[in-house]
Structure 1
Amino acid sequence: MKNKALNRSTTLLMAVSAAIVVANINYIQPIEADIASQYQVSNAIIGAVAMLTQLGYAFGLLLIVPMGDIVNRRTLIMRMLVLAIISALLAFVAPNIWVYAIASLLIGITSVAPQIIIPYAGFLAPVGQRGQVLGNVLSGLLVGVLLSRTVSGVLASYLPWQAVYLIAAIMIALLWVVLWRKLPHDPVTQHATNYRTMIKTVPALVKKYPVLRASAINGFVLFGVSNIFWATLVFYLQHQYHWGSREAGLLALLGVTGVLAAPLIGRLADRFKPNTIIGLGLVLSTIAYLIFDVFGTHIAGLIVGIIVLDLGTQFGQVANQTRIQGIDPKASSRFNSVFMFGYFMGGALGSFFGNLLWGAFGWHGVCGLAIIVLLVGFYAHYIHYPRLARRTVTMNH
């Protein structure tokens, strides 16, 4: 059943779907300056609105994605796409910053379909190929992140920035039609619990599995430092080079390295310990910020740093997904929910505090914040959780 349901074309469709939908939550980053000018608000307020999108996504992950363990996942995906279309249209017509802020929150909440698709792909994939399949689908997710920034930045340099959200709504509507015909039907027809009971099990899973907590913390750190950079880049480009949203969007294309590497990282996660791959992600992200801090005044430094940062983020994303999806297939959506909640809480706080540090201390303050967050990540990965694992083994014996 699994091999038939998840052939190469189906995996590609899932990757494309993840790309199109996840793009919604990143459109704001290259056009923050344009939105601030349109509504005549400060950069700090726009940073808070960007945080609302990430927070909405985080709470959608916590409260909606776990439903994938108890309802028909195909139906859930299709319904979330309809809500994502409505949210994008609200952002398109928003007459003021308050309506746009509400739309941004709803965009975050309703754009969680990729996080239902990811564990669904992991469930359908043959066990020995799970890392590779997840790497392929996650590469689609990263494409969505990259192209969202590029499309948003470039379009906003030629059209009113609101057009970005109209185009997003149209693309998701077309995707809905394709998925209605092609997305595999959920082979699980009976679920033994209801939503309330299932939600109550989430804290117990967090308590039971230290590896789940470790993955959530690692995701918090790596996506947090990624968003510290992307949330402040457009302001840095304005200050340093007198560039705008178009250039910020074009620089996002450099992350294609991470897209190309995702399937390879997935195979590495199947072959080696995910902990090793995650450690590489922390190291690469740290190197990226050292490059930004020392050589960021040169465009070549920014280019190299962006490539290294996106690789570091992708190393952590794929390896963490691989290790949590192997714990218990019956709870895969809940594991993904906890992990991605931590991931996007890091993203939300990274966007907010990155903007604050930019306003207060400039580029060196932004880089310093990221290095501090990464040091927390190193401590958790190499000291705290290994010590906890040794203590657990000792207690069991």
Structure 2
Amino acid sequence: MPENREEGLKNSVLYLMSAGAGLVVANNYYNQPLLSLMAKDFQVSESAVSNIPLFTQLGYAFGLLFIIPLGDKFPRKKMVMIDFIFIIASLLAMALAQSLPILIISGFFVGFSCVVPQVFVPMAAQLAKPEKRGSAIGIVMSGLLIGILGSRFISGFVGEYFGWRLMYFIAAGIMLIFWLLLKLKLPELKSDFKGTYKELMQSLWGYFKSEPPVRLAAVRGGLGFAGFSAFWTTLVFLMEENFNYGSGVAGAFGVLGIAGALAASLIGKLSDRMNKNLLITIATAIMIFAWVVFEFSGYSIVGLVIGVILVDMGLQSLHITNQNIIFSRNPDARNRINTIYMVGYFIGGALGTTTGAYAWELFQWRGVASLGLFYSILILIFHFAFKNSIPEEN
């Protein structure tokens, strides 16, 4: 609402959205440390069970494409409240699934419904004062990444000691509690688009064609997230095969990655002041170095620890800078712009999950590390080839 934009974004609302982003997105990632337990439960192969995170990420991409643009047409709070009901139902379906196909389908709907964080990010960008936009995005993204990484620690622990199904019952309960908090505290924002849903969706293609910076950001983000997803999908297999550790230790690596997430607010501030092309180059260089470290860390916990911190910091820096670039344009269509970017981002995640599983089966850990390095080098190639499509900004 106009008065909220004039006052700026209240800290209480900003941190509520940050916490909500983390708690909701966590639902998409609880499965990764639990894959070995699920494979044993249903007596299937590692590559077969990797379809669970694959379809969850595909569901997220579809949710971004078909749900998030509605934020430019309907009141945001009402949209979030309805979506939470579907999140809870999907999590309960995961907990009660009696076969791998049902689990995979349920995972798709978890991903499809858990797109609320991508409503909160443009909300923060809209409510914040222009000079604090990057900082606000960074705080919400910090919560989101902490949710991604913390989810692996929590689910790894719960899965190892109490079984994987309990994790999804707990998640459904958390969503119910947070639904109540959002109902009480989340502000409403009116939307400007007056056309039909068909016209809304058609406008996505128009923005995709007319906005080279958004297309480039989607490619960079997708490639970065591809490597990230390949790592987390296969880490639990590495822990079991090379170190004889279970899902609890694999999930604990998520806590290390939170160090990268905590840098998000600083990165957001930097993206308000620093040349964004340079910041993207530095972020990608950090990821490349992380994957080089991973190449030599198949039997080194210390190497894996260093690599996790670096790859999370690099990806977070890349992601926040990408979003600051795209949200500085077309303020009346931020949800649709975010949809284009995030669909590319999570298509990259699905690609990384699939190729990571096959890289593990064919070449073990060295293959996964080489794959992540390849994706990161591609980011630099695309960035240097097309970065002139981005106006120089401070």
CA spacing shift, 1:162–1:172, aligned 2, 3 Å: same
Give 1:226 deviation, angstroms: 0.5
**1: CA distance, partners of 2:349 / 2:216:** 17
The alpha carbon displacement at 1:6 in A equals 2.1
Structure 2 contact 228–311 (Cα < 8 Å) conserved:
yes
Give the conservation status (yes or no) of the 8 Å contact 1:50–1:352.
no
Specify the alignment match of 2:384 in structure 1: 382
Q: Distance in 2 between matches of 1:385 and 1:269?
A: 16
Q: What is the match of residue 290 of structure 1? A: 292
Residue 372 of structure 2 is matched in structure 1 by 370
Query: Is contact 2:22–2:148 with CA below 8 Å preserved after alignment?
Result: yes
Contact map agreement 1:5 1:184 (CA 8 A) in 2: no
Residues 253-275 of structure 1, C-alpha deviations (whole Å, 9 max, x = no match): 00121121000000000001222
Tell me, yes or no, if the aligned pair for 2:277 and 2:387 is still in contact at 8 Å. no
User: Does residue 12 of structure 1 match 2:15?
Assistant: yes
User: 2:204 matched to which residue of 1?
Assistant: 202
What's the CA shift for 1:318? 0.7
After TM superposition, give the deviation of residue 5 of structure 1 in Å: 6.5
Quote the offset at 1:13 in angstroms: 0.3
Instruction: State the distance in 1 between where 2:6 and 2:265 align.
Output: 19
State which of 71, 77, 83 in structure 1 corresponds to 2:74. Answer: 71
Partner SS for 2:162: coil
Are the aligned partners of 2:31 and 2:52 in contact in 1 as well (CA < 8 Å)? no
Find the aligned partners of 1:249 and 1:196 in 2 and give their Cα distance.
42
Residue 43 (structure 1) aligned with residue 46 (structure 2): yes
Rounded to whole Å, the distance in 1 between the matches of 2:8 and 2:68 is 21
Please list the CA deviations of residues 243-294 of structure 1 after superposition, one character each: whole Å capped at 9, or x if unmatched. 0100011111001211210000000000012222221221111111100112
Q: Of 251, 254, 261, which aligns to 1:252?
A: 254
Counterpart Cα distance in 2 of 1:340 and 1:15: 17
What is the SS of the residue equivalent to 1:157?
Answer: helix
Contact persistence 1:154–1:246 (CA under 8 A) = yes
Specify whether residues 45 and 204 from structure 1 end up closer, same or farther in structure 2 by C-alpha distance, changes over 3 A only.
same
How many pairs were matched up?
388
Measure how far apart 1:143 and its partner are. Answer: 1.0
> What CA distance in whole angstroms lies between the structure 1 residues aligned with 2:290 and 2:192?
47
For 1:192-341, list aligned pairs within 5 A.
Answer: 192-341=194-343
Q: State how far apart, in whole Å, the 1-side matches of 2:272 and 2:386 are.
A: 24
Q: Per-residue displacement from partner, 1:124-172 (whole Å, max 9, x unpaired)?
A: 1111110000100110101110111111001001101011111000000
Shift of 1:328: 1.1
Q: Establish whether residue 161 from structure 1 lines up as the match of residue 164 from structure 2.
A: yes
| 3-state SS, counterpart of residue 295 of structure 1 | coil
CA contact (8 A) 2:291 2:372 kept: yes
Residue deviations 1:218-243, cap 9 Å, x none? 11011111111111000011111000
CA distance in 2, matches of 1:5, 1:381: 33
Report if aligned partners of 1:229, 1:354 keep a CA contact under 8 Å in 2: yes
Sequence identity of aligned pairs in percent? Answer: 35
Provide structure 2 residue ranges, at least 5 long, that are not aligned to the other structure: none
CA contact (8 A) 2:257 2:309 kept: yes
TM-score (norm 1): 0.95
1:52 aligned residue: 55
8 A Cα contact 1:150 1:251, kept in partner: yes
2:137 counterpart letter in structure 1 = L
Q: How far 1:185 sits from its partner (Å)?
A: 1.5
Question: Which runs of 5 or more residues in structure 1 are unaligned?
Answer: 391-397
SS of the equivalent of 1:162 reads helix
The residue number in structure 2 matching 1:96 is 99
Whole-Å separation in 2 of the counterparts to 1:199 and 1:189? 15
Deviation per CA, 1:338-387: give whole Å up to 9, x if none: 1111111111110111011100111111111112222221110012343x
- CA distance 1:185–1:367, change in 2 (3 Å): same
Report 1:126-137 matches (<5 A).
126-137=129-140
Q: How far did 1:53 drift? A: 0.3
Matched AA of 1:105: F
CA contact (8 A) 1:52 1:104 kept: yes
Q: How far apart are residue 97 of structure 1 and its match? A: 0.6
Cα–Cα, structure 1 residues 175 and 3, in superposed 2: closer, same or farther, change >3 Å? farther
Q: TM-score, normalised by structure 2?
A: 0.96
| Counterpart contact for 1:60–1:108, Cα < 8 Å | yes
3-state DSSP of counterpart to 2:193? coil
- 1:17 positional shift: 0.5
CA-atom RMSD in angstroms: 1.3
Q: Which runs of 4+ in 1 moved over 6 A?
A: none
Partner Cα separation in structure 2 for residue 132 and residue 42 of structure 1 = 44
- Name the counterpart of 1:116: 119
- Decide whether the 8 Å contact of 2:36 with 2:46 is kept in 1: yes
Give the AA of the match of 1:309.
Answer: V
